[in-house]
Chain A
């Protein structure tokens, strides 16, 4: 890897408050802000702040028209600082840096004041208070902007290869996708066989394609592509490097075990899911004739005539839905695929034995989209659907004769209490996050409240994580059916390629810097850095800290730790933070 140095433009102007020409734009955000904050009052209040040359309100600052107006103002007034008071910088800092850049301004002389999430939305009952708080927030950011420096992004060359973790259908299809776009692939699978869940399945919904055959087809395609290197019985054990250039260690359980180092530009995590395992006695779990959904699917996949279980014919069965899903005290989430998977199984069971009585005990049938056709077909094939109350799940019991019975309240028949004797009970178990603590720790994967890996934003960046270059695909992100998992895997391919195909990536230069004259190398910063970006350096006979610009994420964790005050964060210098505080405090909050 090579990082361009330095990131500060030589001879950049010294921050000189009086010399600045700043434009300030206060956004209505339709009414998201202006319904609760007097945006005109905010603009008026900051109009005469030192350095401010333009101060106006806008209906939607992020709209093309808003951006165009800013561009025109920058050109007409020769602005060298830009402040937009609107939403969270998470949403639009890139947008408005783009405005600055297109207008010939340095993009890092743009700063955003968040007067929506941090003001209008939190003070919907106090317009006066919200307005004065907004004024303070904007003043603070103006103060910070008076001290901005022109910065250039850090440009790094990227490695045109990807690591895919997981050899299920998502990982396999993603590997082919990467290879076909010209990216090298390292595919790592923990098991001895590729294929994951789907590789063990017979026909899957909605197209009746045989899972084993689908996987076999993908494996054939992978073998045709020399740019894909497959490691089975393998795990990722180390990861170093920075965005666009990671070195990962892959340990292969051979005899003797060997570790391979791979250079990759991006990492796609496609580690899939586990099936919910009911607790002992949960809906009769532990009884011989009580099966989970995967167990039952296996039974059906291997049946070549009327169903038999443990040698006995199955003449009736009950499906109990939402086992382990939508539980206030357990997994709160809906597992998405199970309703359709069960309808699909029900159709296949009816085809094997039209006389087999099937009872579906459900809460809501969620055969969304075209999957509705399967639900319709299941009902037409004779299956009986019984809706039970959310707070009164069915009860499985063993009858005197040793058979099973399911007691359920049928909301669709006047809340009648039913006792259904059945030969088999199928617990419609959903997906749960797969335990993979070592990899989570290694890749620093963010985990959501549901326990699945979390994307940055479901719509803006649906396959990216907060860790640059680490993407998630398939059911490790949340329950998905097979085709959806494949789609998200290919979306991760697209995301990887959109960064890696260019060959270079730009990184924010908002990183920490060390003043070597002040630094006495106490090592506290090295300990504090969660990214391993700080090292000891020998400089003119002294030991000082040095910070890798590509490795630093700009979290600022090292700055307050330093006893010598030798570290500053570009874009958030001590002087800038002080100016923000001063600006904020100038306004008496009503």
Chain B
């Protein structure tokens, strides 16, 4: 017994006809369609020749019957990945249910998700002439009328964000003018929206696909734009204060990791208290990053998000005894104390007055207790971001000369390039390939200089950077009064008195995935466990810690192999979208608004340097987004859906079914008109394809009239070019390539004649001219239909068009040899040109059958019929039949008859295998 008597692949007219007729005969049929609706291409047509029936009227009853028929199981948005013979003459088919991200049973087809969706992509169901949303219902007559969320993968910006922020989401919200929603989307990950809008190093921008075109989107500054809008208008985060769940968590440290974890835990209902050793909250955000990069009031606004939902922050409250904290009534403790120790130079003279740790220097500056550098010469040792901050701060404090000494070369500088550039712009000088030997001081113990040694770069070390090696006898002294040491930082792991194990580098020992330490109630997150990193990674660690602490407190497992869907990982992302395919699907790269970078202010003070984006700049910049993953994960549809039908965590599922026979009804592909460059499709806006004209004429037409796309003008002179992509073996304009299709596509003459009649009906004043090779109207009532179009006034001119050129007004010149009237060269001008594109084989059929079971194709890559004269539709594989255009160009009527022929043989095949009762 098989699961189904027959599998029908493809639900175009031939597939539906096959499935319904087999179902009528009493066979159990599985009908598989890869698109979101059954119906194939016919449902998209305007009317059909020669009866001029409305295509919808003919299709919809068959479409509805396909999903209501008691013997037919129709699966949409599903692909057949493979079909293999099963030994006993039956087949095993691998069926892949693509995730709709919409619960089909719950979806009512109300289209609120479509309205809410912030992503627009070309509407393939309208021949790309208009846009549809990423959340969409295929077309008004779709069967089933259920929404689909198109997701090509995770967008690179979102995928790369260490904090798990939906970067594409907030960009698309800003593009839609939903600034507050953009803010809220970031807020969903971290309270530090304003901070990250300024001080994040934006790994998202490095990955932006637009970067390989004219340049990356200013994603970070868009976040700042949303934050500035929010804080200018709102007091507090604008989220509901959660109901307490009765459990309490202590967070030690109020840096980005601690604040983010506290925010996440508090929103889950935990009572959270942050204990901060310093007199102000914010950690390095307040005590290290200079105000010109991150104004302290921005940090305060971000921190107020946390306190607004009930998190208590105790400053000047150092913690050393974790068990004691636990016994104060906390159910769990998160240690997020960061890296508080500056690494020593380890050279003589380090204790002299004037040698200051970089972190301590920055902290002192922020707290107003720092050294007075006015008129002094300063040397900063180190090449990281702290060194840059220290150097630029020294300049702002009035240092006469600020020099950065770094032991490797410029290209090895670990600081971000923008920081280095800005430091140089501030007047900082750099000395490369030098290392301190000792600090030189006077008798009073004050620094007078730094003795350095030149370094040569040797072989790469473990970090991949070339190891600096001292050059003998190259010592020299740099005169200075202050040495700022910024060569590294380390956590103060030992601060907890040995209650938590500490690694050799001072970091706390914690599981990398669960962040739990050996003491179950103690978790560690951020730089204290990873070593020095950056704000965004710390935010990500804070999110993770909150997620894991919540799991642990709810009694869920934190070890063992996570399995999909168990909620262990907090961001169950789709794989990274394929960037080349993103670029491939973009047709125009025109950029909305180039950002004009304002010159940084000359003033060297602590006021914020970077100017905010104006609203117009933000909208234009967001508008440049390529929507790499299609869905931006902005979550607007989830919020809009009244029946909670949208689930972004849906994943594809694969099943194997056994079937007795197979009908391949995979149809055809339309010729891609830009492969005939002489006709200008894709370059000339008023050159459209026959399919596009059919959409312009369809009852569900995009513009409610026939107009030319270039300027919306109603065309008065319309030309058709028949045989575009058919009967064409001429080389391309470059002398090579070309269309290379010797076949006639069979239905283009007829659909053009149909459109001629419909256009003349819709636009009574329009002149329609058809340039043809032979008018092929070879069917019942077809020639009469052609004569009817002639009688209505359409003109038919024999001769192939050589070339189309565009005039500045968008009109088009067609060049041809007027062979019926003496053969003169003629140039005729039209408002609009319709290319009667033909058929190409759908080669996806090849991957259905693998290995020894390969389905035989003919010379033109259509499914071969073994004995077309007697057994139309029979393939080389016993039990596999082909219906409709998968075996070659056919019009609708012939496809239906061909399907009927295939079905008769499917039934015969199934009957022949029945064991007589």
Residues of A within 8 A of B (CB): 29-32, 59-60, 62-65, 67-68, 87, 91-92, 94-95, 98, 102, 173, 177, 180-182, 204, 206-207, 209, 214, 217-218, 326, 332-334, 336, 339, 364-373, 376, 387, 411-415, 448, 450, 452, 457-460, 462-463, 477-479, 482-484, 486-495, 497-499, 501-502
| Bound CA span A493–B873, Å | 14
Q: Kindly supply a per-residue 1/0 record for chain B positions 751-790, scoring 1 wherever the CB is within 8 Å of any chain A CB and 0 otherwise.
A: 0000000000000000000000011111111111001000
Cβ-defined contact, A478 with B904, below 8 A: no
**CB proximity of B902 to chain A, nearest CB, Å:** 8
Cβ-defined contact, B823 with A495, below 8 A: no
Interface size class of B (residues with CB under 8 A): 35 or more
* A333 surroundings in chain B (CB, below 8 A): 780-781, 783-784
Among A412, A413, A415, A462, chain B packs the most CB atoms within 10 A around the CB of A462
Cβ-defined contact, A411 with B820, below 8 A: yes
CB-nearest residue of chain B to A491: B900
The 6 closest A-B pairs by CB, nearest first: A30-B699, A491-B900, A180-B908, A498-B24, A490-B901, A334-B783
Interface stretch among B273-281, B325-333, B451-459, B741-749?
A: B741-749
- Among B25, B53, B64, B872, the residue within 8 A (CB) of A459 is B53
Known contacts A460-B58, A495-B900: A64-B776 contact under CB 8 Å: no
- Among B21, B145, B820, the residue within 8 A (CB) of A415 is B820
Q: Total contacts A to B, CB within 8 angstroms?
A: 247
**CB proximity of A55 to chain B, nearest CB, Å:** 21
Known contacts A92-B57, A460-B58: A181-B897 contact under CB 8 Å: no
Cβ-defined contact, A68 with B798, below 8 A: no
Cβ-defined contact, A497 with B904, below 8 A: yes
Is residue B56 contacting chain A, with contact meaning CB distance below 8 A?
yes
Known contacts A333-B780, A487-B872, A498-B24: A181-B911 contact under CB 8 Å: yes
- A30-B56, A181-B904 given; name 12 further pairs at CB < 8 Å: A32-B54, A60-B141, A64-B142, A64-B145, A91-B57, A207-B868, A369-B889, A414-B822, A483-B872, A490-B904, A498-B24, A501-B26
| Bound CA span A334–B782, Å | 8
| Bound CA span A339–B701, Å | 38
Q: Kindly supply a per-residue 1/0 record for chain B positions 867-899, scoring 1 wherever the CB is within 8 Å of any chain A CB and 0 otherwise.
A: 011101100000000000000111011101111
Known contacts A367-B744, A371-B744, A372-B744: A497-B900 contact under CB 8 Å: no
**CB proximity of B258 to chain A, nearest CB, Å:** 51
* A479 surroundings in chain B (CB, below 8 A): 778, 780
CB-nearest residue of chain A to B53: A459
Cβ-defined contact, A209 with B888, below 8 A: no
- Taking CB atoms and an 8 Å cut-off, the chain B residues in 730-750 that contact chain A are 742-746
- Taking CB atoms and an 8 Å cut-off, the chain B residues in 606-664 that contact chain A are none
* B58 surroundings in chain A (CB, below 8 A): 91, 459-460
**CB proximity of A113 to chain B, nearest CB, Å:** 15
| Bound CA span A457–B896, Å | 12
| Bound CA span A246–B857, Å | 44
In the complex, 7 of the A-B residue pairs with CB atoms within 8 angstroms, ordered by the A residue number, are: A59-B140, A64-B144, A68-B109, A364-B774, A463-B900, A483-B868, A487-B900
**CB proximity of A453 to chain B, nearest CB, Å:** 11
Is residue B912 contacting chain A, with contact meaning CB distance below 8 A?
yes
**CB proximity of A409 to chain B, nearest CB, Å:** 10
- Taking CB atoms and an 8 Å cut-off, the chain B residues in 852-868 that contact chain A are 860, 868
- Among B780, B783, B821, B870, the residue within 8 A (CB) of A217 is B870
Cβ-defined contact, B144 with A490, below 8 A: no
Cβ-defined contact, A366 with B776, below 8 A: yes
* B56 surroundings in chain A (CB, below 8 A): 29-30, 60, 62-63
**CB proximity of B707 to chain A, nearest CB, Å:** 15
| Bound CA span A326–B344, Å | 100
**CB proximity of B40 to chain A, nearest CB, Å:** 13
Cβ-defined contact, A29 with B54, below 8 A: yes
CB-nearest residue of chain A to B20: A498
* B775 surroundings in chain A (CB, below 8 A): 364
- Among B109, B143, B700, B890, the residue within 8 A (CB) of A30 is B700
Is residue B63 contacting chain A, with contact meaning CB distance below 8 A?
yes
Cβ-defined contact, A486 with B780, below 8 A: no
Cβ-defined contact, A376 with B742, below 8 A: yes
Is residue B173 contacting chain A, with contact meaning CB distance below 8 A?
no
Cβ-defined contact, A177 with B54, below 8 A: no
CB-nearest residue of chain A to B906: A494
Known contacts A366-B777, A458-B893: A498-B54 contact under CB 8 Å: no
| Bound CA span A495–B899, Å | 11
**CB proximity of A118 to chain B, nearest CB, Å:** 15
| Bound CA span A310–B846, Å | 53
* A332 surroundings in chain B (CB, below 8 A): 783-784, 787
* B892 surroundings in chain A (CB, below 8 A): 459
